[in-house]
Amino acid sequence: MCGIIGYVGKEDATPYLLDGLRRLEYRGYDSSGIAVLDKDGGINLQKCAGRLENLRRQIGDKPESGCCGISHTRWATHGEATDENAHPHFDQSGKLVLVHNGVIENYQKLRDDLEADGHQFLSQTDSEVLGHLIGLAYENQNGVKESNSEERLVAAVREALKKVSGTYGIVVMHVDAPGFLVGARLGSPLIVGLGKDENFLASDVSAVVAHTSDAIYLNDYDLVCLKSDEFKVERIDGGAADFQVSQVEFSAEDVELGDYPHYMLKEIFEQPESIENAFRGRLSDEEASAMLGGLQMSPQELRDVDRIVLVGCGSACHAAMAGEHIIEALSRIPTEVEIASEFRYRNVPLDKHTLVFVISQSGETIDSLGALREAQRKGFRVLSLVNAVGSTIARESDGGTYMHSGPEIGVAATKSFTSQLTLLTLLGLLLGRMRDMSVSDGQEILREIRALPDKVREVLKQNERIKEIALKYVEAPGMLYLGRQFNYSTALEGALKMKEISYIFASGHASAELKHGVIALITEDLPSVFVAPKDSVYEKNMSSMEEVKARKGPVIAITTEGNQELERIADDVIYVPDTIECLNPILSVIPLQLLSYHFAVARDCDVDKPRNLAKSVTVE
């Protein structure tokens, strides 16, 4: 949450920073700000509440000029989304500015002490306290030559960071050290973008990919000093840092909208390719199995696994729930799902043959990262299923597999979810083929996986029809989602999509649970969406549907192509191509994504930036 970008180079910093903020808006968008060191050596700071557009308007015809600056887009934690609470924040002297992503947990005590010493704060944020702390340490620097402002600033950052507990990704700039930025991270992401005569610090590579594809993914406790033609990475305690320059694997074009009105729609329509990217090069016809070399486990080690724990948040957790069914069905290995935020504070019994798998699109979700570290602390091998290459979870896990979905920018997860399901199926196949799964069953799964992209294209062709259905129900006060077995998690995911972007209450349930309470909600106004493919529980699903209809509840059904029977019961039917049971969720979730998308557009909601949410949740 919160996006930060700093620029130091030979050009005017403002356009770079504003463009970078646009790319980072998915991380938070309730206020934004920018500070540029102007040519006269002063700090020109502009910030305001609301979307980035407000900041652009404020800067308007008086753009700051200067070649070094920092900026921020905020997702409020401490203090409301006001102009004052927007970053950057000054220190007491007014000579230092800071942007911060994370939470300073002991900020109140620090603030009280600083106030007792005469410091005056202009905001309610924890971040401003850190700015004051660094500024104070800078003023009090002894032992570093007065004239060497850069060294003094670095020493001040090191000293101040010793006093804080919590998480941070920060960038700091001081008028005494023009053309010089200091960044540091602990628990919040920060990357260095290395350009020609210009360098960047940002929360994520998407902010800099238009200018460079050379990036350093900083580790926790790294500190970086940046000039236009020079960089130095060290540990915050002064030790040597272990870093490397990586190539960003996507281009600036990949993060553009193209002809689509919203990223969410673009990403829904990218699913034939993103699913193919997830399985490309990973299917072995010879072995009728999957090849997941990134797991870095020998066949013997994989054979020894007798329990799997899948961990994630939000949609990744729903993918994990589908994964539980898939892995158990294909490999018979007992699999459980843990919500990452619960796992990290619970003493989950694990034994030496338990494999922990963390699932995360961004690879930065703090609770998922916390779960990974907790399991590793206990000595367990933790694998990851991540989209963002070079992200913290990907780097800290003991192995894993990348989703290769390309950047997902819409806050509501879409293509990452279907890629996660694809890869969990490959995992189930691999483990299954090491146990009792026959060659012919393995071959059938491979065939069906390969057929997925075309089948997804078939589903996408129904976009207009799904839009019509959405418009028909757009005044609904809420929505129920029902599914069973493999599609219970599809129902949960469909409800989550609806809630997060349309702001109407929606809940997902196992169909048969309807009669244990949810049915009390059924009225003529409340639509129920049934995920009811022609599978082993189809008849049971159909009975639940009848129960809703008997109480006059409208029903939208997702079922298998060719199954006309539901036209008789449901008010609206959406068809998906036939596939094997465990792969059906990949097809069935797509109409649900489209339904929520069209609902949100019709209700005039901000589809890509829903209120109160952020794509990458890097605070607890």
- Enumerate the active-site residues: 2, 615
Minimum CB distance to ligand G6P smaller for 100 or for 615: 615
DSSP assignment letter at 565: G
**Piece in contact with ligand G6P (CB under 6 A), picked from 90-98, 362-370, 477-485, 585-593:** 362-370
* 535-536-542-543 Cα dihedral, nearest 10 degrees: -170
Minimum CB distance to ligand G6P smaller for 92 or for 362: 362
**Piece in contact with ligand G6P (CB under 6 A), picked from 231-239, 360-368, 424-432, 566-574:** 360-368
Minimum CB distance to ligand G6P smaller for 138 or for 488: 488
Indicate which single residue of 413, 426, 504, 605 sits in contact with ligand G6P (rule: CB under 6 A). 413
**Piece in contact with ligand G6P (CB under 6 A), picked from 72-80, 286-294, 358-366, 545-553:** 358-366
17 is a site residue for ligand G6P (CB under 6 A): no
Minimum CB distance to ligand G6P smaller for 125 or for 365: 365
Q: In the beta sheet, which residues pair with residue 173?
A: 97
Nearest approach in angstroms of CB 187 to ligand G6P is 15
Residue nearest to ligand G6P (CB): 314
124-183 residues in contact with ligand G6P (CB under 6 A) are: none
Residue 278 near residue 419 (C-beta atoms within 8 A): yes
Minimum CB distance to ligand G6P smaller for 33 or for 312: 312
Number of residues interacting with ligand G6P: please give it, by CB under 6 A: 16
Residue 293 phi, psi dihedral angles, 5° rounding: -60, -30
User: Both tokens of residue 44?
Assistant: 């020109």
CA 420/CA 509 separation, integer angstroms: 21
Indicate which single residue of 341, 365, 511, 579 sits in contact with ligand G6P (rule: CB under 6 A). 365
Minimum CB distance to ligand G6P smaller for 571 or for 620: 620
Which residues does 469 contact at the CB level (< 8 Å), separation at least 6?
Answer: 556, 572, 574, 595
617 is a site residue for ligand G6P (CB under 6 A): yes
User: Both tokens of residue 312?
Assistant: 């994630």
405 is a site residue for ligand G6P (CB under 6 A): no
Nearest approach in angstroms of CB 409 to ligand G6P is 11
**Piece in contact with ligand G6P (CB under 6 A), picked from 16-24, 145-153, 295-303, 361-369:** 361-369
615 is a site residue for ligand G6P (CB under 6 A): yes
Minimum CB distance to ligand G6P smaller for 335 or for 384: 384
Nearest approach in angstroms of CB 216 to ligand G6P is 21
Minimum CB distance to ligand G6P smaller for 315 or for 354: 315
Q: What is the DSSP string of 92-107?
A: TTSSEEEEEES-BTTH
256-315 residues in contact with ligand G6P (CB under 6 A) are: 313-315
Nearest approach in angstroms of CB 246 to ligand G6P is 19
361 is a site residue for ligand G6P (CB under 6 A): yes
Indicate which single residue of 411, 426, 519, 545 sits in contact with ligand G6P (rule: CB under 6 A). 411
CA 298/CA 283 separation, integer angstroms: 17
Residue 561 near residue 576 (C-beta atoms within 8 A): yes
Nearest approach in angstroms of CB 370 to ligand G6P is 12
Buried/exposed code over 489-518 (b: 16+ C-beta within 10 A; e: otherwise):
bbbbbbbbbbbbbbebebbbbbbeebeeeb
522 is a site residue for ligand G6P (CB under 6 A): no
339 is a site residue for ligand G6P (CB under 6 A): no
Minimum CB distance to ligand G6P smaller for 252 or for 613: 613
> Is the omega angle on the peptide bond into residue 88 within 30 degrees of 0, that is, cis?
yes
Nearest approach in angstroms of CB 412 to ligand G6P is 6
77 is a site residue for ligand G6P (CB under 6 A): no
Nearest approach in angstroms of CB 48 to ligand G6P is 24
Helices vs. strands in the chain: H and E counts, helices first:
18, 26
User: Both tokens of residue 562?
Assistant: 């060719």
**Piece in contact with ligand G6P (CB under 6 A), picked from 276-284, 344-352, 357-365, 463-471:** 357-365
Q: What is the DSSP string of 502-564?
A: H-SEEEEEEGGGGGGTGGGG--TT--EEEE--SSTTHHHHHHHHHHHHHTT--EEEEEETT-G
C-alpha distances out from residue 495 to 165, 289, 483, 559, 608, Å: 37, 33, 11, 17, 17
Indicate which single residue of 71, 141, 362, 405 sits in contact with ligand G6P (rule: CB under 6 A). 362
Place of tokens 């600036």: 252
User: Both tokens of residue 27?
Assistant: 């991380």
**Piece in contact with ligand G6P (CB under 6 A), picked from 78-86, 484-492, 596-604, 611-619:** 611-619
CA 586/CA 322 separation, integer angstroms: 10
Nearest approach in angstroms of CB 610 to ligand G6P is 8
Indicate which single residue of 141, 188, 335, 368 sits in contact with ligand G6P (rule: CB under 6 A). 368
Residue 25 phi, psi dihedral angles, 5° rounding: -60, -25
Residue 516 near residue 509 (C-beta atoms within 8 A): no
Q: Roughly what angle, to the nearest 10 degrees, separates helices 584-602 and 415-433?
A: 170
User: Both tokens of residue 14?
Assistant: 């403002």
Residue 487 near residue 533 (C-beta atoms within 8 A): yes
Minimum CB distance to ligand G6P smaller for 81 or for 512: 81
Residue 393 near residue 401 (C-beta atoms within 8 A): no
Buried/exposed code over 78-91 (b: 16+ C-beta within 10 A; e: otherwise):
bbebbbbbbbbbbb
Minimum CB distance to ligand G6P smaller for 233 or for 409: 409
Nearest approach in angstroms of CB 525 to ligand G6P is 28
Minimum CB distance to ligand G6P smaller for 34 or for 617: 617
306-335 residues in contact with ligand G6P (CB under 6 A) are: 313-316
User: Both tokens of residue 192?
Assistant: 């260095």
Residue 44 near residue 34 (C-beta atoms within 8 A): no
Nearest approach in angstroms of CB 362 to ligand G6P is 3
CA 405/CA 577 separation, integer angstroms: 22
CA angle, residues 67, 73, 79, in degrees to nearest 5? 125
Nearest approach in angstroms of CB 411 to ligand G6P is 5
613 is a site residue for ligand G6P (CB under 6 A): yes
Which residues does 434 contact at the CB level (< 8 Å), separation at least 6?
Answer: 289, 299, 302, 303, 331
Give contact residues for ligand G6P (rule: CB under 6 A): 313-316, 360-362, 365, 368, 411-413, 613, 615-617
